[in-house]
Each structure stands twice: as structure tokens, then as C-alpha cells.
């Protein structure tokens, strides 16, 4: 048996998404910037996709800009906000995805901004009172706080963060890559200036995403070279990807509650099974359903003599999981998230992340192999 439990890194594409993408690939090959009929037909597909996305998020189509994915969207929001609004101070957490953390660190190193970090606790929850204190002392600030952590799954109350930011006239950007398509986002009421999406996190294609820009927040383009995306992003649109993104989000919203209940049940089932198999294990981050991303479970194992063999042996047994965030895979540097929450470096951790395609039979198989490997190397 082969089991894929690395859905926080990327998800398998939904067959219905692939179907609509193939139809476009085979029949709609015009450049959407061309004025002839072939181009106009493809332009219609792009704008129809934009309307689908915006309707699901309860915002206007003009506020959605298609990108190559979450990293580009994060970079655009952060860099353009700082450059265009003359921002000299930013607040973030030290468990953000590198698309955010490294971007802000670069801006600080080049003298663009001063960077402050909001306190977090041992489960990855931000200190909202500390955030407010930082904002009191630093007007005209950019706040960049993710909705759900990609490694440990801890959720942040971005509604609360948005309300705090509004009180101090701060610009609020949230990396929502792990939660778009998994939780509803009402952008008509959410007090946020930028959120982002990567289609491959919700059973869509890789290489496409979007940036939402609040209509009251006007930024200049970061990429030049053409008038695409209403002069905000030069470059021929990834039409097949955009169509696939819209279809994936449409499917996600159609059955969101059902999928959430199903996947949460899988997560709870695996937590119980692991504890029964290896009582010494614990879990990193929040595990309560209302505080934790239901697709992610980060398991902390007891100290092992050959900890580096744990993930390797799971792979040999056909089980795909992750020792950290996908962007750090293969790196000898430990997880910055686990370091930030004070996890013991002697205890190996594995992130298992689920999708609607996983089953309890797969969970049983994984837990059995985890126990076998742990007994062998523990």
C-alpha cells in the first residue's frame, strides 16, 4: 500500500478540475490579450474564473489578481505595501512561512523597515495583547500574520487581528494558503487588506494562485512587462491554471462542511491510534478542533537513537509525510517553527496532513508502520 499524507505540501488534483483544464488545453489556445475571436474566448474564461473566485469569497472580481501561487502573492502584498505606503515598520511572528518571513527579513536587512515579532506561546498561538502593544508604539505598520500554520496547524483568529489592526490604522496581510478552500472567508466583512491562495493546496493545479487586494488599498505592480491583470501583473496569464483554480475552489465550497467533518474525524482517529500504539508521543501545536487546522497533525516522538531514520523508513514503506514545511524538505536546517515554540531538538517530529481522499484503512496502515519503525529504532 502507498499512502499520501503530505497534503499540506500539495494535494492531488481533483479529477473534475483536471477535466475542465484538459478541455481548455485542447480547445482554447488563444492568447487572452489578443483581440481576435480566439483571444476573446480565452479572455472570457479568465474573467469567468475571476467571478467564480470572487463570488465564493464575497468580494468584487476587481479585487482578485491571479498569480503564480502563494509565494508571489505574499511577496507582492508585502513589498508593494511597504514601498507604496511608505511603511517603515512591520510586525510578524517567527513561525510564518518563509515566503513571508524571508521577505520581511530581506526588507529589514536592506534598511527598508524595522521588524518586530509578536510573542507566541508553546502551541504557536500569538499573544494578541502583545500585538496591540506593538501597534500602540509603532503607528503606520504592516502586520503579517498567517491564518493557519503550515507545520503545526495552529489557527489564528484573523478576525480579531483585523479588528486590532483597524484600531491602529495598520495594514493587515494574512498568508491564508493553508485555509483557502478549507474554511469560508467573507472578504466583505473580514478586516484584512491582503490574503493569498495557492491552488495546489485545495486539489487544484500547481503554479497558480491569487492575491486579494482590499479595494481601499491601492498598490502599484511588482511585475512589469504587460497590461495583464488590469496592469497589475505583467505576463501572459496561466489560463489552464486559472480555470483549474476556480473549479477547485468551487468544489471546495460546495462540500466544505462535509469534507471538514470527514477529515477532522480522520485526524482524531489517527491521534487516538498513535497514542494507543506509542503512549509516549505528544503533538506539536494546538489539537483542539476549533483551534487547529483540521488537515494537519504534527506528531512529536520520544528521543530516538536514529531519529533521522524515522521519516526515511516510512518512505520505504510507501508512506509520504513531512518532517517540516514542504519548502524546507531536504534541508539539514531544523524547522524554524518547532524551534520557535520551544520543541526539544532531540525529539523527532513528523507532520501528517490529510485530504478528502484519505481513508481510515490508510491511517491504520500508517500507524502500524510507525509503531514498527519506532520499535526498531526507538
Cα(182)–Cα(14) distance, rounded to whole angstroms?
15
In sequence order, the 6+-apart residues with CB closer than 8 A to the CB of 252 are 181, 182, 202, 203, 259
Angle made by CA atoms 125, 127, 130, in degrees to the nearest 5: 160
**The C-alpha cell of 327 is what?**
519548502
Backbone angles phi, psi at 320, to 5 degrees: -100, 120
The 3-state DSSP class for residue 320 equals strand
Cα(369)–Cα(364) distance, rounded to whole angstroms?
9
The 3-state DSSP class for residue 376 equals helix
Q: Are strands 89-92 and 114-117 parallel, antiparallel or unpaired?
A: parallel
- Give the helix/strand (H/E) hosting 106: helix 98-109
Cα(70)–Cα(201) distance, rounded to whole angstroms?
10
Q: Helix %, strand %, coil % for the chain, to 5?
A: 45, 15, 40
- Give the helix/strand (H/E) hosting 142: strand 141-144
**Residue 117 DSSP one-character state:** E
Backbone angles phi, psi at 114, to 5 degrees: -100, 135
Residue 327 bears catalytic tag = yes
Specify whether the CB–CB gap between 377 and 305 falls below 8 A: yes
Its sign, for the CA torsion 199, 359, 182, 268, is: negative
Cα(376)–Cα(155) distance, rounded to whole angstroms?
35
Burial 81-120 (b: 16+ CB within 10 A, else e): bbeeeebebbbbbebbbebbbebbeebeeeebbebbbbeb
Catalytic sites, residue numbers: 327
Amino acid at each position: 500500500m502507498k499512502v499520501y499524507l503530505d497534503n499540506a505540501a500539495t494535494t492531488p488534483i481533483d479529477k473534475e478540475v483536471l477535466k475542465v483544464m484538459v478541455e481548455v488545453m485542447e480547445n482554447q489556445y488563444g492568447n487572452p490579450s489578443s483581440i481576435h475571436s480566439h483571444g476573446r474566448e480565452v479572455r472570457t474564461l479568465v474573467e469567468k474564473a475571476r467571478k467564480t473566485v470572487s463570488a465564493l469569497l464575497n468580494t468584487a472580481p476587481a479585487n482578485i489578481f491571479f498569480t503564480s501561487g502563494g509565494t508571489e502573492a505574499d511577496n507582492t502584498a508585502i513589498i508593494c505595501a511597504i514601498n507604496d505606503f511608505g511603511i517603515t515598520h512591520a510586525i510578524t511572528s517567527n513561525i510564518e512561512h518563509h515566503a513571508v518571513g524571508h521577505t520581511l527579513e530581506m526588507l529589514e536587512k536592506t534598511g527598508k523597515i524595522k521588524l518586530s515579532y509578536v510573542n507566541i506561546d508553546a502551541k504557536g498561538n500569538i499573544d494578541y495583547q502583545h500585538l496591540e502593544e506593538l501597534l500602540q508604539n509603532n503607528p503606520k505598520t504592516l502586520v503579517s500574520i498567517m491564518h493557519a500554520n503550515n507545520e503545526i496547524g495552529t489557527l489564528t483568529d484573523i478576525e480579531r487581528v483585523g479588528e486590532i489592526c483597524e484600531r491602529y490604522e495598520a495594514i493587515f496581510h494574512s498568508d491564508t494558503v493553508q485555509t483557502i478552500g478549507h474554511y469560508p472567508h467573507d472578504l466583505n466583512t473580514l478586516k484584512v487588506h491582503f490574503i493569498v491562495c495557492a491552488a495546489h493546496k485545495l486539489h487544484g493545479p500547481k503554479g497558480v494562485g491569487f492575491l486579494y487586494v482590499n479595494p481601499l488599498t491601492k498598490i502599484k505592480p511588482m511585475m512589469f512587462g504587460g497590461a495583464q491583470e488590469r496592469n497589475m501583473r505583467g505576463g501572459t496569464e496561466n489560463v489552464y491554471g486559472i480555470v483549474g483554480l476556480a473549479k477547485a475552489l468551487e468544489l471546495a465550497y460546495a462540500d466544505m462542511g462535509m469534507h471538514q467533518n470527514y477529515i477532522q474525524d480522520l485526524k482524531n482517529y489517527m491521534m487516538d491510534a498513535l497514542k494507543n500504539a506509542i503512549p509516549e508521543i505528544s503533538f506539536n501545536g494546538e489539537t483542539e478542533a476549533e483551534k487547529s487546522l483540521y488537515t494537519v497533525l504534527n506528531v512529536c516522538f520520544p528521543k530516538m537513537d536514529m531519529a533521522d531514520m524515522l521519516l526515511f523508513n516510512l518512505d520505504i514503506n510507501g508512506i509520504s509525510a513531512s518532517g517540516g514545511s514542504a519548502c524546507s524538505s531536504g534541508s539539514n536546517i531544523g524547522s524554524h517553527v518547532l524551534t520557535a515554540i520551544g520543541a526539544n531538538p532531540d525529539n523527532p517530529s513528523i507532520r501528517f496532513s490529510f485530504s478528502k481522499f484519505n481513508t481510515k484503512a490508510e491511517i491504520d496502515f500508517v500507524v502500524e508502520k510507525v509503531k514498527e519503525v519506532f520499535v526498531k529504532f526507538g
